[in-house]
Amino acid sequence: MNSDNHIRDVVVVGAGIVGSAIARVLGGTGLSVTLVEGRDDVGDGTSKANTALLHTGFDATPGTLESRLVARGYHLLGAYAEEVGIPVERTGALLVAWTDEERDALPGLADKAARNGYHACEIVAGDEVYRRVPDLGPGALAGLTVPGESIICTWTTNLALATDAVRRGVELRRGQRVTDVVVGPDHTTVVTTAGRIETRWVINAAGLGADHLDAAFGYHRFTVTPRRGELLVFDKLTRPMVPCIVLAVPSSRGKGVLISPTIYGNVMVGPTSENLTDRTATGTSEEGLEFLIGKGRALMPTLFDEEVTATYAGLRAAADRDDYLIDVDAAQRYVLVGGIRSTGLTSGMAVAEHLSGLLADTDLDLTPRADLPPAPRMPNIGEATTRPYQDAQRIAEDPEYGRIVCFCERVTAGELRDAFGSVIPPRDLDGLRRRTRVMNGRCQGFYCGAHTAALLEAAR
């Protein structure tokens, strides 16, 4: 759109789900767009470590921007997942009341869901709760069904959005942290750890780093607090015990601990909720583990007779306000997309849509391109549909799909090869794990780690 080839139209900072969704939408126009990510991979921040629920938005605060964008994102991402092959399972959720007080709260929660435009909730008695989830511990009094809540692959979601963006012509720069900006009269210089980028507009989708970048534009309007959520992952043998997502009745202390099936065929319990100061503290803690074992054992005692195969933690970018903070500063040609705390996996595509509505009033020309490439088709790493090792015809056509590298997760040499040759290839083992599930099983790479590392090295 602009006549100077050195100056991009838009730089999007942060290639998590939100930044990737924004870059994808802008890539569908004639604008020149660069997506800059400080880490070595897309989706290596909060977007890689969450509870991976596709939320209906039934429990959001009615009337907020978050409530509107989660409800919209639920439909947008649900449809996109089908189009590009992001694994989703429509398991539904059951919110369980364990005390009289919690039981009394259920009608209010159903009413809140209706005020959020979600009308499918139903209050059920204790016997129906046990019919739906027989392995729950004793003492459940009643429940609220949320049939639309679903589980989704957060890794494939992020990768699909970023891949789509790159295929649409977005320039992706990984491993380049933005350290400063210099705002000039016609364009801004974005200073990164790997040089400078000249751009007309900057969109800040930096998650945990969004307040720092905001300050570089002269603002002091919010502070990000990293709110750690730790989770336990159980062995695949436990999956039949958890046919749907089991939620707690929310309290003033938060949403509580949930038990959920995962898209990879496991069960997870969590998350904790703990405000920290260190924005890099994604390690798990002994206290978190103790807390989850205590809570989880009360919810489903028999689950805790089974093996925990992994623990992980993610950091919510909690802001000192109760809603998303999306703001366009036309004078500085700058957009803040902040405060996307605990629902951004679901809402990311709706945030991008909302933002393009706001940008329509600026000097950016958002006319859709006529020559859009088709959306990508992502490799399936979900457990509910056929994986390459199960596909006899595919193996007959290409025996690499029959050559298993990771026996825990049944990941084949063909899938690793495809990841190495993909639009956004992995740069490290963790990136390869997010693309294929390799080393993600109960041995955590003990058996396949060395071989996988050698394959990655050879592909470089």
Ligand X SMILES: Cc1cc2nc3c(=O)[nH]c(=O)nc-3n(C[C@H](O)[C@H](O)[C@H](O)COP(=O)(O)OP(=O)(O)OC[C@H]3O[C@@H](n4cnc5c(N)ncnc54)[C@H](O)[C@@H]3O)c2cc1C
Considering the rule CB under 6 A, would residue 309 count as an interface residue with ligand X? no
Find the part of the chain contacting ligand X (CB under 6 A) among 45-53, 141-149, 241-249, 364-372.
45-53
Q: Measured from the CB of residue 215, what is the shortest distance to ligand X in angstroms?
A: 11
Q: Which is nearer to ligand X, 167 or 177 (CB)?
A: 177
Considering the rule CB under 6 A, would residue 207 count as an interface residue with ligand X? yes
Considering the rule CB under 6 A, would residue 13 count as an interface residue with ligand X? yes
Q: Measured from the CB of residue 460, what is the shortest distance to ligand X in angstroms?
A: 22
Q: Which is nearer to ligand X, 356 or 447 (CB)?
A: 356
Considering the rule CB under 6 A, would residue 18 count as an interface residue with ligand X? yes
- Contacts to ligand X from residues 217-236, by CB under 6 A: 229
Find the part of the chain contacting ligand X (CB under 6 A) among 342-350, 368-376, 388-396, 440-448.
342-350
Q: Measured from the CB of residue 225, what is the shortest distance to ligand X in angstroms?
A: 12
Considering the rule CB under 6 A, would residue 16 count as an interface residue with ligand X? yes
Find the part of the chain contacting ligand X (CB under 6 A) among 98-106, 343-351, 401-409, 421-429.
343-351
Q: In this structure, are strands 224-234 and 245-248 parallel, antiparallel, or unpaired?
A: unpaired
Q: Measured from the CB of residue 254, what is the shortest distance to ligand X in angstroms?
A: 11
Considering the rule CB under 6 A, would residue 65 count as an interface residue with ligand X? no
Q: Which is nearer to ligand X, 162 or 456 (CB)?
A: 162
Q: Measured from the CB of residue 55, what is the shortest distance to ligand X in angstroms?
A: 5
Considering the rule CB under 6 A, would residue 271 count as an interface residue with ligand X? yes
Q: Which is nearer to ligand X, 22 or 142 (CB)?
A: 22
Q: Which is nearer to ligand X, 148 or 207 (CB)?
A: 207
Considering the rule CB under 6 A, would residue 87 count as an interface residue with ligand X? no
Considering the rule CB under 6 A, would residue 14 count as an interface residue with ligand X? yes
Q: Measured from the CB of residue 224, what is the shortest distance to ligand X in angstroms?
A: 10
Q: Measured from the CB of residue 133, what is the shortest distance to ligand X in angstroms?
A: 19
- The full 3-state SS of the chain, as one line of letters, equals CCCCCCEEEEEEECCCHHHHHHHHHHHCECCCEEEECCCCCCCCCHHHCCCCEECCCCCCCCCCHHHHHHHHHHHHHHHHHHHHCCCEECCCEEEEECCHHHHHHHHHHHHHHHHCCCCCCEEEEHHHHHHHCCCCCCCCCEEEEECCCEEECHHHHHHHHHHHHHHCCCEEECCCCEEEEEECCCCEEEEECCEEEEEEEEEECCHHHHHHHHHHCCCCCCCEEEEEEEEEEECHHHHHHCCCEEEECCECCECCCEEEECCCCCEEEECCCEECCCCCCCCCCHHHHHHHHHHHHHHCHHHHHCCEEEEEEEEEEEECCCCCEEEEECCCCEEEEECCCCCHHHHHHHHHHHHHHHHCCCCCCCCECCCCCCCCCCCCCCCCCCCHHHCHHHHHHCHHHHCEEECCCCEEHHHHHHHHCCCCCCCCHHHHHHHHCCCCCCCCCCCCHHHHHHHHHHHC
Q: Measured from the CB of residue 342, what is the shortest distance to ligand X in angstroms?
A: 5
Residue nearest to ligand X (CB): 16
Q: Which residues bind ligand X (CB under 6 A)?
A: 13-19, 36-39, 44-47, 50-53, 55, 177-178, 205-209, 213, 229, 271, 314-316, 340-346
